[in-house]
Amino acid sequence: MLRFVFFLMCLLQLRHTMLGVMGAVTPKPIIINGTYINPELGKYHARLRTIARSCLYIKEKHGASQDGMYILTTESGTYYQTFCDMTTAGGGWTLVASVHENNINGKCSLGDRWSSQQGNDQNLPEGDGTWANTVTFGTAEASTSDDYKNPGYYDISAQDVSVWHIPNNEQLKSWTSSAILRYHTESQFLTEHGGNLYHLFKVKHTILFIITP
């Protein structure tokens, strides 16, 4: 079974020939004498060679040991980039979502994707239904500045959850050191609830919001 990370609060085929407007363009070599001309491109290609369904797979099959951004794919072939925690409790945790509070005084206002952006409506107690649908939004790198949800939320088969609380607007490189709280489960409870948060909240624990004056 696989693991994934859930950050709460503020956070936790290249083609050989490309066709342009003016006709065919022949790409220049990116490797000369076994060395990448652009080291950053070399790093990117290394990530492409390790594309997998989860961070745990990348760690176990490719020996990845550094926290950072990796490229994953869903069962249906959708590619997305997300953060992998390769060090906590053996590593292999995949960031699938973040809940960011941009206005503590807002009540189901713009930006509240995990509740409702349509205001308090007693006829919509389920809000936007984000906890139990497959809608995705945001980017992993900006997940301390906005809400985030990627395909791993519903695609990865997981057993445990990790939660990080991180101050607003922290940059990726500072997530680990700036986290106010970091904790995770080890009971494999998700195996009894569909294997991920999507199934947990869609089938087992439906979320409804109480309307207050």
Dihedral angle sign, alpha carbons of residues 113, 83, 176, 3: positive
Direct distance between the N- and C-terminal alpha carbons of the chain, in angstroms, rounded to an integer = 44
Per the structure block, which two tokens stand in for 100? Answer: 């960011």
The predicted-structure confidence for 42-63, as pLDDT tens digits, reads as follows: 776 666 667 899 999 999 998 9
Top mean pLDDT of 44-48, 95-99, 202-206, 208-212 is at 95-99
Contact assessment for residue 46 and residue 210, using Cβ atoms and an 8 Å cutoff: no
The predicted-structure confidence for 3-50, as pLDDT tens digits, reads as follows: 444 444 323 333 333 333 445 545 566 667 777 777 777 776 666 667
Nearest alpha carbon to residue 180 among 1, 45, 10, 2 = 10
Phi-psi region at 30: left, alpha or beta (left = phi > 0; alpha = psi -120 to 50):
alpha
Nearest-angstrom CA–CA distance, 55 and 83:
8
Per the structure block, which two tokens stand in for 9? Answer: 């609060």
- pTM value > 0.85: no
Band (pLDDT 50/70/90 cuts) for residue 131 is confident
Across the range 83-104, mean pLDDT stands at 88
| Predicted pLDDT at 1 | 46
